[in-house]
Chains A and B, each alone.
Chain A
Amino acid sequence: MHEMAICESIRRTLEEQAAVHAFQRIGRVSLEIGPLSGVEVEALRFGFDVVMRGSIAEGAVLDIVECSAAAWCMQCAETVPIARRFDACPRCGSHQLQVTAGEEMRIKELEVD
């Protein structure tokens, strides 16, 4: 999608965190990315290395936890697993689904010196 813009947003957040928690280097950045977030993980990894150059996170290891997506099926009245937005309910075939998980795009934790 716009993984470079997302990396720049991560960099700004890391720099703010450095000021708050008083650290000089980041060795590892852990992200949680959902399959419905619109983020292409490989493009994000590529952008991350480029954008972090010259920052406190230069050379940092990028850990990406790819969580799974789920939706509430209004027909079945329960949470069902989905892989893509336009998937039907795997139980009843209905498209009356409300996505409940899979849109995550979060910085979970940092390993810092």
Chain B
Amino acid sequence: MCTVCGCSDGEVRIGGKAQAGHGALHEHGGAHAHGHDHHDHHHHVHESELHRHVHHYGRGPAGTSVPGMSQTRLIKIETDILAKNKAYANANRERLGQLGIVALNLLSSPGSGKTTLLVKTIEAMKATRDVAVIEGDQQTDADAARIRETGAPAIQINTGKGCHLDAHMVGHALDELAPQRGSVLFIENVGNLVCPAAFDLGEAHRVVILSVTEGEDKPLKYPDMFASADLVVVNKTDLLPHLDFNVEQAIANVRKVNAGVKVMKVSARTGDGLGSFVSWIEGARAMQLAGADVAHAVAGE
């Protein structure tokens, strides 16, 4: 488990079923079974370092090593550390594109009103659109249950100790959820303004939600998240009369990290501004369908 943020991928559950395939952590068990203690390992490493120094004076990058005297070699791999996630994300994106599904990755801190916003948005859209939801939380399927009450299909991913959804989990969730062609897919990420920023899920757009009960300086404190947003929704605006929150300052801070991003003021509770959010989603869906193979199939609705 990550001592920084509690991140681990050993306990992922999708729709209540444990997921295989996140093996890296489990392999530690095999490592312990070797019976070496850590001291042994370090000792061994020092020995081999020493060994190399004896044979190779001034050994630097392998370009300077003498052929035939050492098997040490340098391999340039130039690989993005998150390349694996990126590959899964691209596969998800391709699959969603072929189905004409617009996927929106919803990100925020815990308690910003993501699920309430989703419930209200689904209620506003469900008469005309198929909507499906992937819910990410560390534990419980409470949020998926709230979504299902609207009649929309929802699947819960429990990340266990994990602090974010990754593209691999979302791929499995798509298998189970099987959203309709031409539908709108919401992926509600784990409430966290840090880790989910780095993980592409294959979504068409990222929507970051900032509630007015937080601080105006959130965009500056968590710039990576706000920098990655395609839309920022300032939520809970009905509470503004009771707060010192300066909306214009908050929006100015958003623009400091993401100059061109669209910002909307919404109260999911009263419905104020919700129409703009729905219009934006419709626009995103139209863009997703434009040029997609399924455009003709779903345009005739």
Contact = CB atoms under 8 A, between A and B. Distances in A.
B124 interface: no
Given A38-B198, A86-B253, A109 B74 contact: yes
B103 interface: no
Contacts of A9: 81-82, 84-85
B232 to A, nearest CB: 14
A83 B196 CA distance: 22
A97 B75 contact: no
Contacts of A6: 81-82
A107 B194 contact: no
Nearest to B220: A86
B224 A38 contact: yes
Contacts of A54: 27-28, 30-32, 34
Interface residues of A, number: 49
Contacts of B61: 111
Contact of B42 (A8, A59, A108): A59
Given A38-B224, A86-B220, A111-B62, A1 B194 contact: yes
Contacts of B49: 27
B26 to A, nearest CB: 11
Interface stretch (B3-11, B108-116, B266-274): B3-11
A54 B30 CA distance: 8
| Top 4 A-B pairs, shortest CB-CB distance | A54-B31, A4-B2, A59-B45, A85-B223
